Structure 1
Amino acid sequence: MRSAAIWLWVAALIVVPVALSLASPLLQWRDPIYIAGGFAGVLAMALMPLQPLLATQALPGLSAFQGRKLHRLIGALLVTSVGFHVLGLWITSPPDVVDVLLLRSPTPFALWGLLAMGALFLSAGITALRGPLRLRWKLWRVVHLSLAALVITGTVVHALRIEGTMEPVSKALLSLWLVLVFAGALAKSTRSRAIARPKL
């Protein structure tokens, strides 16, 4: 019963912001590619809180192996969604995307989005190349958590500063949830390192 309640709560926190963004009146006169690109960005943000929850095995009913596998799958989906988000913006307004990439955008929220995207892509690349690069697990974890912090910070500021299709209250709650679950995962990781550290 408790497991079902947790999963229903998690599903609601993901689905509600996405559904409300799709019902936004601001989409009425937009091109389909713009709507799809915007939806991809909202979906990526909505899925992000799952990553720290899966990494710390906080979701019930999943084995450690299943959690790691789903964590990697959602990571790939995040990269794909963000890529499609940027592609949609590029197709509908190439000059705006160029301004962001050249760090001359007049809208600060776009630069926060660029920070989040860059950290996400870099994290995915380092994870994919962890074997060939022969990164030690402890070093990789520090880099992975640091980049995750940049992704989350950039995403939250990017979303909160945009007055767009996301409904304000659900967007704020999603942002708060994302920050809290990452902070919890970071605290748990710190505690596990302290426990594992040999006493002098």
Structure 2
Amino acid sequence: MSRTRRTLIWGALAIVAVVPIAAAAYSPFLAWRSPVYIVAGFAGIIGMVLLLVQPLLAGGYLPGLSAYHSHYIHRWVGAALVTAIIGHVAGLWVTSPPDMVDALLFVSPTPFSAWGVIAMWALFAAAFLALLRRRLHLRFRTWRLGHTTLTSVTVLGSVVHAMLIEGTMENMTKTALCVLVLSASIKTLADLRVWVIRTRRFD
């Protein structure tokens, strides 16, 4: 791959990552929000950006990174994603505990809350499975199918959650980001063919 093409790919990823965050920073909704709520909201936006990066790393689509380095960075981005979601939920809990209790108990009147909670628990389960893969003594194919299923639920739940919310994120950039997250995830699943046992794997 030429240097120009590598630069264009990384530049496009940087733009996709920065533009939704920058657009949200100019949202009129921020004027009536507390600092904790604002931080929680941006943690959620960062989480969506990281959801785009994860399948790109898993599929080896980012130029200049070997399979080993892509896998290594994938782990750290996963940890950052979990941290972002914890920050998102914790901030919302501080600003409105009753609403968060309703969301966690699936009794909230807002549909986006249930999708967000489903995505959150699926993400935590996927991270748990990745962290304890060896200790659980799972066969690689079993582990991969489980991890992929959970991350797919995370992506779907997060996208629906984001699209249903009328809030800080600007609509056009939010829609574009969600479409890219779904597209990258679907392409990675198709290319890796997770239902087939791979002879090459990371141990």
Q: TM-score, normalised by structure 1?
A: 0.95
Mark the runs of 5 or more structure 2 residues left unpaired by the alignment. Answer: none
Give the AA of the match of 1:186.
L
The match for 1:32 among 31, 35, 49 is 35
- Choose from 44, 49, 57 the match for 2:52: 49
Give the corresponding residue for 2:132.
Answer: 129
Letter in 1 for 2:19: V
CA contact (8 A) 2:144 2:194 kept: no
Fraction of identical pairs, as percent:
46
- 1:154-191 CA-to-partner distances (Å, cap 9, x unmatched) read 00000000000000000000010000000100101118
Counterpart residue identity of residue 95, structure 1: P
Which position in structure 1 is the counterpart of 2:85? 82
Shift of 1:193: 2.7
Structure 1 residues 43-92: Cα deviation after superposition (integer angstroms, max 9, x where no partner): 00011111111011110001111111110000000000000100000000
* CA–CA distance in structure 1, aligned partners of residues 197 and 180 of structure 2: 26
Equivalent pairs, count: 196
Corresponding position of 1:110: 113
**Equivalent position of 1:141 in the other structure:** 144
Deviations 1:101-153 (A, max 9, x none): 11100001000000100000000011111111011111111011101110011
The one-letter amino acid paired with 1:3 is R
Taking a change above 3 Å as real, the CA distance of residues 111 and 51 of structure 1, as seen in their structure-2 partners, is same
RMSD, aligned CA: 1.4
CA contact (8 A) 2:145 2:194 kept: no
| Alpha-carbon distance change, 76 to 195 in structure 1, aligned in 2, over 3 angstroms | closer
**Structure 1, 84-93 or 185-194: larger mean CA deviation:** 185-194
Structure 1 segments of 4 or more deviating over 6 A? none
How far apart in 1 are the matches of 2:84 and 2:195? 32
Task: For 1:147 and 1:190, locate their aligned partners in 2 and report how far apart those are by CA, in whole Å.
Answer: 16
**SS where residue 43 of structure 2 aligns?**
helix
Note the 1:11-26 alignment, pairs <5 A.
11-26=14-29
Q: 2 CA distance for matches of 1:195 and 1:138?
A: 8
CA displacement at 1:99 relative to structure 2: 0.3
The 1:191–1:133 alpha-carbon spacing in structure 2 relative to 1, beyond 3 Å, is closer
